[in-house]
Chain A
Amino acid sequence: MKFNFRVSPNYRTPLSTQRIMTELTIGIALALAYTVYFYFTKFGSDYGVHAILMIATSLGTAIGVEILWALFYKKNIWRHLNTSFPWVTALLYVGMMGINKPLYVIFVGSFIAIFIGKLVFGGFGHNIFNPAGVGRAVSVLSFGGFITNKFADVITGATPNQLMEKVGWVITDPKLATEFLDQFGGLWSMATGWYAGGLGETNTLLILAIGIYLGFRKIIDWRVPVVFLGSLFAFASILALIKGMGIWYPMFHLLTGGAMFGAIFMLTDPVTSPTSIPGRIIFAFGVAFLTFIIRVKGSLPEGVIRSILFMNMMTPLIDTALDGWTFEKTKKYAMTLATVFVLGFAGATAFGVQANYIAPVVEKEPEIVINLKGEPIVVLAEGVSPSAIIVSETAEGDVTTFVVNINGYAFQSDHSDDPQPNTLEVKVNTATQTVESVSYVTFSDSANIGDKTNSDVFLSQFVGLSIVDETASVDVVSGATITSQSVVRAVRAAIAAALD
């Protein structure tokens, strides 16, 4: 018989940190799976596969870094992974990234999340900032513009948040509001995540359902998402009342930009939030307040992650401030919370009053119309260009038709390996001594630039020009000076031939 000694109690809940993390992982994975399904269905398998590759890259990097760390410190790899949970961070991180991110950005972000966000602080339980939040913040700041061309079309400039940012987070005109929401298929479509956004963030209703389940299972503290979402809703409602906006406005705040994802999965991270109940309430309220003012008055479109990281920093302060015997401090806790709430609502109202609708600047389409305000060039000023070759000459009554080959812009640069000349047809009336018409037969020059000269507005300038007036001139097409000049040289060659 062996009789052992162990300090009391010798009875423990079956709930382990491992099970908490497993249930959390399943929750996040469900949100991600929905988005992968969305991309497969709406955009095709290329997009779906890219989403899966992003998730795999994030997971692989995070787990790989932890394995290397365990090897370096000679720890048991399996036990280290099983008490460090890199996959949770990896899934959270990739859940906040859009489909247009190339895989190397995900690799770097996931690495930073695990290494800088967690391991350098001493690993699981010791990190100050939410690791996934760190990864996301660094990715956005460092690689904001890095997007894959292939998948760029889906999101560029189209997340509800970024569009809202452009109008100053206020739309008072109900008609404009409806039009605005219709861009994403309305509030319902936003709630069900049927639009492009972060890989795990879009389906608000699904995340809410997962959150309710996790709350009931006591995997997360229900107070945190309830206080956060409730406060954000309240702040937005105040603004809506001040500016006369409908209920859609506070709803929009909850549905957009990872508010729900943050509420359920990020704010509830136990490691980086306060340990006492009043502490967690202040924390959640603080994130809601910062999110609201960053959205309404900040220069960045999205505030949830930044607010979480900022409040992570406040966590030790909140914990220390609330230290004590809770039975003695209950009144103080209530007073503190009341003060924080009053200040928060006053602040949010003050910021809200200042928010205003900004009429969106209509972005001009790239100019395709020809601008004739370029420098004028004189048609007969110079001699005939040696590159202008008269291919044929046919006379029909007084009108002689010249077909002229001329080297365009393609010959002047490294633009093309095998440049071809442009061919123009120039008609000259020898009786009236004027140019009858100029037109392209073939155009082989640079697209989008040189072809601006292939237009009536430019070519019709030649009609009626005297072939003996040495001061006659035409305006150059702005942005296509060299091609314009080449057309002039071709006309000049034809006139020279006609005068011969």
Chain B
Amino acid sequence: MSFLTGPGREHLNGHKEETLHNEIVRVKPKKEVFVPLNNGSATKVDVYVNEGDKVLVGTLLARRNDHFNVPIYSPVSGVVGAKKNMMHSVLKPQEHLIIEDDGKYEKVESFKPIDYTVASREELVNFMMEAGIVGCGGAGFPSYLKYKNPVDINTLIINAVECEPYITSDYRFTKESLDDMLVGVRALLKMSTAPKAIIAIKKSKKEMCEQLEAVLKGDPSISVFKTPDVYPMGWERTLVYEYCKKRYNRLPSEIGIIVNNVTTAIAFARALQYGEGIVEKVVTFSGDGLKSPTNVRVPFGTKVSEIVAQIGGYASEDVLVIAGGPMMGKTIPTDEFVITNYSNAITILKNIKVDPMECMRCGRCNDACPAGLLPVRINNAEKMKDSDWMQKLRADQCIECGLCTYVCPSKIDVTEGVRRAKRALALRKG
């Protein structure tokens, strides 16, 4: 009933043309990489190497050791150095392991490749866990968890929507790894137990749609699902709703759906075929703060400052460096931080002053909210510090997609108000 709750989405100017048609450029670190010893917000990590150890690309460096199991493999070959506390793209200083790059990129098989067509479902799930495949949508959620106990799954959705402005890394990476992607999707389909998979992609990306339809001809189990060019079409809930007009409570598996990002499928395929974990990333460097926006392929752990210098430098002296896209990415007040194994973009924008004015209660944020919230009311509640009211308005359901701030004609930081409310509610519960 979007007539009553608002469309919950909005077409944005994607600025994708700036990088959409250019080949991915390979960039190398100057002399060392900094491997973050964390996985998303988790920081409990067992390190298996010592200072002075010689490592190769793919050597197991560390493993997240709480209730999730995520290994970290060396992105370069060289010598293990000291640990260093430095800024991380989660906007907090984190411990990083320094590895001196010898520039040779000697590889070692991290694990034995397996043939997904003969392996059992359980073997594949186990393999995925061992390979350290994390969701590449930006959050770094371990992917194997989705496939552990599939019940009544009817569709696997491969998310190639990429709705954040400026970002084209998924698009370029998929375009240049179509065969790998198909292997990944077929393996995931087997693991999911679903009868069919759909590859969701914006209908505005005509070239890719045609290309995919051509390679999928004759395979009735996989089809292309074209979505409108709106934000946040790539958010799991919005995408699932667009596909089957159903909403779910916590996980899409409740209504028989598993969603995985397209680059996760590619990474999984590379692990299956070549025995390699995620050691390098395709990352979009874009935005009006850069002289020449580019998609780069870099070993993770490479510093942003080094990459920017190698692709032409900044276009302005006064910039915002955003880890991710401009909607959901955090601004990091330095460029001395590294690409993680789940980064997909760095957006650099000229710092243009924003002059907010009074809220005129137009309700555009309410109409746009993809989570069905009333951001203007949550902001009112937050200003009054009325936590019962915030709870009634379910501020905890916000995913911080940023659309409320985007649509606000009065240029108010609406999302930030909701974020504060969300934090207040979390504190109250804790």
Interface set of A (CB-CB < 8 Å, partner B): 1-13, 15-17, 19-20, 83, 123-126, 221, 270-271, 273-281, 319, 323-328, 330, 333-334, 337
| Distance in Å: Cβ of B157 to nearest Cβ of chain A | 20
Query: Hey, which chain A residues are within 8 Å of B320, CB to CB?
Result: 3-4, 6, 10
Q: How many inter-chain residue pairs (CB < 8 Å) link A and B? A: 169
Which residues in chain B, 325-382, are within 8 Å of chain A measured between CB atoms?
Answer: 325-335, 347, 349, 351, 354, 357-363, 366-367, 369, 371-374, 376-377
**Which of B3, B4, B333, B405 is within 8 Å of A12, CB to CB?**
B405
A277 x B366 contact (CB < 8 A): yes
CB-nearest residue of chain B to A124: B358
B153: Cβ under 8 A from any A Cβ = no
**Which of B331, B372, B394 is within 8 Å of A10, CB to CB?**
B331
Instruction: Give me 17 A-to-B residue pairs in the complex whose CB atoms sit less than 8 angstroms apart, sorted by A's number.
Output: A2-B318, A4-B331, A7-B416, A9-B402, A10-B349, A11-B402, A19-B409, A83-B358, A124-B357, A125-B359, A276-B366, A324-B394, A325-B372, A325-B393, A327-B247, A333-B5, A334-B1
CB-nearest residue of chain B to A279: B363
A11 x B358 contact (CB < 8 A): no
Q: A277-B6, A325-B373 are in contact. Are A16 and B411 (CB under 8 A)?
A: yes
**Which of A13, A16, A273, A281 is within 8 Å of B406, CB to CB?**
A13
| Distance in Å: Cβ of A257 to nearest Cβ of chain B | 27
Query: Hey, which chain B residues are within 8 Å of A333, CB to CB?
Result: 1, 4-5
Query: Hey, which chain B residues are within 8 Å of A3, CB to CB?
Result: 319-321, 332-335
Which residues in chain B, 290-336, are within 8 Å of chain A measured between CB atoms?
Answer: 314, 317-322, 325-335
Mostly, the B contact residues are: loop
Query: Hey, which chain B residues are within 8 Å of A334, CB to CB?
Result: 1, 4
Residue with the highest number of chain B CB atoms closer than 10 Å, among A3, A10, A280:
A10
CB-nearest residue of chain B to A6: B331
A326 x B410 contact (CB < 8 A): no
A1 x B314 contact (CB < 8 A): yes
Q: A8-B327, A8-B331, A123-B358 are in contact. Are A330 and B4 (CB under 8 A)?
A: yes
B367 x A277 contact (CB < 8 A): yes
A9 x B406 contact (CB < 8 A): yes
Which residues in chain B, 373-430, are within 8 Å of chain A measured between CB atoms?
Answer: 373-374, 376-377, 389, 392-394, 397, 400-403, 405-411, 413, 415-416, 419
B389 x A323 contact (CB < 8 A): yes
CA distance A13 to B408 in the complex (A): 7
CA distance A3 to B319 in the complex (A): 5
B363 x A4 contact (CB < 8 A): no
**Which of A2, A7, A9 is within 8 Å of B319, CB to CB?**
A2
**Which of A7, A10, A279, A326 is within 8 Å of B373, CB to CB?**
A326
Q: A12-B408, A270-B361, A323-B389 are in contact. Are A275 and B4 (CB under 8 A)?
A: no
| Distance in Å: Cβ of A357 to nearest Cβ of chain B | 39
**Which of B349, B354, B377 is within 8 Å of A275, CB to CB?**
B377
Q: A12-B405, A334-B1 are in contact. Are A2 and B358 (CB under 8 A)?
A: no
CB-nearest residue of chain B to A337: B4
B12: Cβ under 8 A from any A Cβ = yes
Query: Hey, which chain A residues are within 8 Å of B329, CB to CB?
Result: 8, 10
Query: Hey, which chain A residues are within 8 Å of B3, CB to CB?
Result: 277
Query: Hey, which chain A residues are within 8 Å of B403, CB to CB?
Result: 9
CB-nearest residue of chain B to A269: B360
| Distance in Å: Cβ of A124 to nearest Cβ of chain B | 5
CA distance A12 to B330 in the complex (A): 15
B363 x A270 contact (CB < 8 A): yes
| Distance in Å: Cβ of A318 to nearest Cβ of chain B | 12
B392 x A17 contact (CB < 8 A): no
CB-nearest residue of chain A to B164: A11
Residue with the highest number of chain A CB atoms closer than 10 Å, among B394, B409, B413:
B409
Which residues in chain B, 234-278, are within 8 Å of chain A measured between CB atoms?
Answer: 247
| Distance in Å: Cβ of A470 to nearest Cβ of chain B | 88
CA distance A93 to B270 in the complex (A): 69
B165: Cβ under 8 A from any A Cβ = yes
CB-nearest residue of chain A to B8: A326
Query: Hey, which chain A residues are within 8 Å of B373, CB to CB?
Result: 325-326
Query: Hey, which chain B residues are within 8 Å of A281, CB to CB?
Result: 4
CA distance A8 to B334 in the complex (A): 16
Residue with the highest number of chain A CB atoms closer than 10 Å, among B319, B320, B332, B334:
B320
Query: Hey, which chain A residues are within 8 Å of B389, CB to CB?
Result: 323
| Distance in Å: Cβ of B252 to nearest Cβ of chain A | 15
Shortest 9 CB-CB contacts between residues of A and residues of B: A9-B402, A125-B358, A327-B372, A275-B363, A11-B326, A270-B362, A325-B394, A326-B372, A83-B357
CA distance A326 to B6 in the complex (A): 9
Q: A11-B12, A275-B377, A326-B372 are in contact. Are A20 and B333 (CB under 8 A)?
A: no
A16 x B361 contact (CB < 8 A): no
Query: Hey, which chain B residues are within 8 Å of A337, CB to CB?
Result: 4
A20 x B351 contact (CB < 8 A): no
| Distance in Å: Cβ of B323 to nearest Cβ of chain A | 10
Query: Hey, which chain A residues are within 8 Å of B357, CB to CB?
Result: 17, 83, 124
B359 x A4 contact (CB < 8 A): no
A10 x B322 contact (CB < 8 A): yes
CA distance A15 to B12 in the complex (A): 12
Query: Hey, which chain B residues are within 8 Å of A273, CB to CB?
Result: 361
Q: A1-B314, A8-B322, A12-B354 are in contact. Are A275 and B361 (CB under 8 A)?
A: yes
| Distance in Å: Cβ of A315 to nearest Cβ of chain B | 9
Query: Hey, which chain A residues are within 8 Å of B372, CB to CB?
Result: 325-328
A271 x B361 contact (CB < 8 A): yes
**Which of A7, A271, A324 is within 8 Å of B415, CB to CB?**
A7
What 0/1 pattern do residues 147 to 191 of B give for CB contact below 8 A with A? 000000000000000000100000000000000000000000000
CA distance A278 to B367 in the complex (A): 11
CB-nearest residue of chain B to A275: B363
B5 x A323 contact (CB < 8 A): no
| Distance in Å: Cβ of A264 to nearest Cβ of chain B | 16
A327 x B402 contact (CB < 8 A): no
| Distance in Å: Cβ of B331 to nearest Cβ of chain A | 5
Query: Hey, which chain A residues are within 8 Å of B362, CB to CB?
Result: 20, 270, 275
A277 x B363 contact (CB < 8 A): yes
Query: Hey, which chain B residues are within 8 Å of A6, CB to CB?
Result: 320, 331, 351, 354
Query: Hey, which chain A residues are within 8 Å of B415, CB to CB?
Result: 7-9
A11 x B406 contact (CB < 8 A): yes
CB-nearest residue of chain B to A270: B362
Query: Hey, which chain A residues are within 8 Å of B333, CB to CB?
Result: 3-5
B326 x A10 contact (CB < 8 A): yes
CA distance A150 to B96 in the complex (A): 86
Query: Hey, which chain B residues are within 8 Å of A17, CB to CB?
Result: 357, 360, 409-410
A7 x B5 contact (CB < 8 A): no
Query: Hey, which chain B residues are within 8 Å of A275, CB to CB?
Result: 361-363, 366, 374, 376-377
With A6-B354, A323-B377 known, 18 other A-B pairs at CB within 8 A are: A2-B317, A4-B318, A8-B327, A10-B322, A11-B165, A13-B408, A15-B407, A19-B409, A271-B360, A273-B361, A275-B361, A276-B374, A278-B4, A323-B374, A324-B374, A325-B393, A326-B4, A330-B4
CB-nearest residue of chain A to B420: A7
CA distance A271 to B409 in the complex (A): 13
